[in-house]
Structure 1
């Protein structure tokens, strides 16, 4: 956990979704959530909310938002950000033991914690807690990184550090465990990568119903210049339409940089 804390204390998360492939990740996450979130005003828990990127979007849409994150540097940024002043609460806390009462929210977003919980019991606890804090019939949405993500990333950026990166991506694909033992820049920190079917099974094990998976970046994960494609209006329209078309295709799910898994608590 120390290396994960050190990684996020470099304070890069606050602008990660404003450049490169992050632009597509953000646009596609909003695209999918807009179709799934209840109408405003709804109560949303942003669990592992980072520096408030998605909380801010929920506030803009008229929702009441509680944000929780495990990283002090993220909480400091959130509390200092005037665009997040309307948050109902801001909490430094653990996604595995939420400080919220049963059924508080209409929706729980778990947009990052699953990446950093290699123990399946911890992931199960996180999803169970999210489901507990959502009302009957409420939505739980959780992101995961597919196991092929490390392969796609290496292929896209080149194999210049093959002596180092090959073992990382092979371990990630075969076991789900992503390790960057030398903490090299350009590589991720300690993480867990899911097989898509594994994420679906974990959501069902948490008692969620009507579980569905959405590839966020999908084949756009392989674009050489994602910023160019999404900044031009004509290219963006074609890109977003294509990604919507294939977002539920199981044959393409694993090449996406991120998957959004969703399900509803009993009573929908």
Structure 2
């Protein structure tokens, strides 16, 4: 992330939004189960919130500097790895969550691989829940010099179904897209 993006994501204002806006809108009454995987926690703002909601949380982060920081600051399992090639056995988790990180995955094909991997590591009946930003001028400015591959809400349902999910729900809202899907079983 560039300096501006990093500053915004580390701000108390963002943390408050995650707690009072993002999580209620995305998770609502969704039960992620008792063994949850978070993909791409970055600075850990969403991880801190998830840790208070689920009995066991594992976070998978690709950036080594964030992994080191998260391991120092949080009492959850932090794994260094790539969400397009997850280092977990099949059916490891009851829930998978990803918040505002998909646009950092550098190609739609890799995003699709991430969806397939999320389905693979979920137990039958497990839930994927997440959110990502939608393109607008502010979003583009915040990401100058960063990877920015927006997820199109119109194509997301078919992409999640192609990855193996059912009960797909995609909710485009201003500046974001929220989604949930379930692994069959």
Q: What residue number does 2:119 align with?
A: 131
**2:65 corresponds to 1:65:** no
TM-score (norm 2): 0.85
Deviation at 1:98, TM superposition (A): 0.6
Deviations 1:81-106 (A, max 9, x none): 1xx22x1x211211101111111101
| CA contact 1:9–1:73 (8 Å) conserved in 2 | no
| CA contact 1:11–1:73 (8 Å) conserved in 2 | no
Deviation at 1:9, TM superposition (A): 11
**Partner of residue 21 from structure 2, selected from 28, 45, 54:** 28
| CA contact 1:144–1:199 (8 Å) conserved in 2 | no
| Alpha-carbon spacing, 1:12–1:127, altered in 2? closer, same or farther (3 Å) | same
Larger Rg: 1
What is the SS of the residue equivalent to 2:91? coil
| CA contact 1:69–1:94 (8 Å) conserved in 2 | yes
What is the SS of the residue equivalent to 1:144? strand
Structure richer in strand, relative to its length? 2
Alignment of 1:86-235 (within 5 A): 87=76, 89-146=77-134, 149-151=135-137, 153=138, 180=144, 183=145, 189-215=146-172
Task: Measure, in 2, the Cα distance between the counterparts of 1:67 and 1:50.
Answer: 10
Q: What residue number does 1:261 align with?
A: 179
What is the SS of the residue equivalent to 1:19? helix
| CA contact 1:200–1:213 (8 Å) conserved in 2 | yes
What is the SS of the residue equivalent to 1:44? strand
Deviation at 1:117, TM superposition (A): 2.5
Deviations 1:14-43 (A, max 9, x none): 524x226x643542222131411245xx00
Q: What residue number does 1:218 align with?
A: none
Runs of 4 or more, structure 1, over 6 Å off, are none
Q: What residue number does 1:236 align with?
A: none
| CA contact 1:105–1:138 (8 Å) conserved in 2 | yes
Q: What is the RMSD of the two structures over their aligned residues, measured on CA atoms?
A: 2.7
Structure richer in helix, relative to its length? 1
Q: Which structure 1 residue ranges, 5 or more long, are not aligned? A: 155-167, 170-177, 184-188, 216-252
Give the paired residue count: 184
